[in-house]
Amino acid sequence: MKEALEQVQRIVGYTFQNVSLLQEALTHSSYTSAASYQRLEFLGDAVLNLAFTNFVFLTNPSVGPGALSLLRAANISTEKLARVAIRHDFYRYLRRNSSKLDSMVKEFADAVTKEKEDDYGELLYGGNTIKAPKVLADVVESVAAAIYLDSKLDLAELWKKQGMSIEFKSWKEDNKSISNVFVDGVLMVLASPSRSILQS
């Protein structure tokens, strides 16, 4: 577990003072020898929602509430967070004891990696039809909550982009709102309320 904790800290770019918080965040309820992430997941859901809401509100002063809501919905849904977990391989570090869960996550991960990265339209409106396992989003939310608690409730720690510029571009296409997120001029996310593509 020590190696997993060190690796996840490297992935998220945060060093825990209280590593037991991260250990709890990486423990599924099927692993009965330790406290599970369920309470952290509850907190993390709210924390990520607030962090993202603050960010889009403050960085987009001319964008109305409808577009801000679409941006939020397009980026913190279960599927979007599950894709973040796949991208960073969080599930590998999760303590669990469920072969059924492993199979569901593998099926989703395989489908996500097979999507054509160069066909944004297909990914945005068609793409993966396999439902994202909630456990993947739960892990992202739990780790976010662990960072939030460990940093003495510092919301800024969740949204650090050291030395990076972040830009949102939004437009409508066939009655669908679409948003791009660029980090340092590189497209990172292409999203609508129903689909999202995370670039690696």
Q: What is the residue-averaged pLDDT of the chain?
A: 81
pLDDT of residue 58: 78
Tokens of 40: 């952290």
Ranges 61-75, 105-119, 129-143: which has the least confidence:
105-119
* Residue 180: band (very low, low, confident or very high) from pLDDT cuts 50, 70, 90: low
pLDDT of residue 190: 58
Residue pair 52/76 in contact (Cβ under 8 Å)? The answer is yes
* Residue 189: band (very low, low, confident or very high) from pLDDT cuts 50, 70, 90: low
Answer yes or no: is pLDDT of 17 > 90. yes
Answer yes or no: is pLDDT of 16 > 90. yes
pLDDT of residue 193: 53
pLDDT of residue 139: 97
Residue pair 159/51 in contact (Cβ under 8 Å)? The answer is yes
Answer yes or no: is pLDDT of 120 > 60. no
Ranges 32-46, 74-88, 148-162, 173-187: which has the least confidence:
173-187
* Residue 32: band (very low, low, confident or very high) from pLDDT cuts 50, 70, 90: very high
Domain boundaries defined on the chain: 2-162
- Tokens 């160069």 sit at which residue? 118
| CATH architecture for residues 2-162 | Orthogonal Bundle (1.10)
| Distance from the Cα of residue 87 to its chain's centroid | 9
Residue pair 84/76 in contact (Cβ under 8 Å)? The answer is no
Ranges 17-26, 73-82, 143-152, 180-189: which has the least confidence:
180-189
Tell me, what amino acid is at 68?
Answer: L
pLDDT of residue 179: 66
pLDDT of residue 197: 44
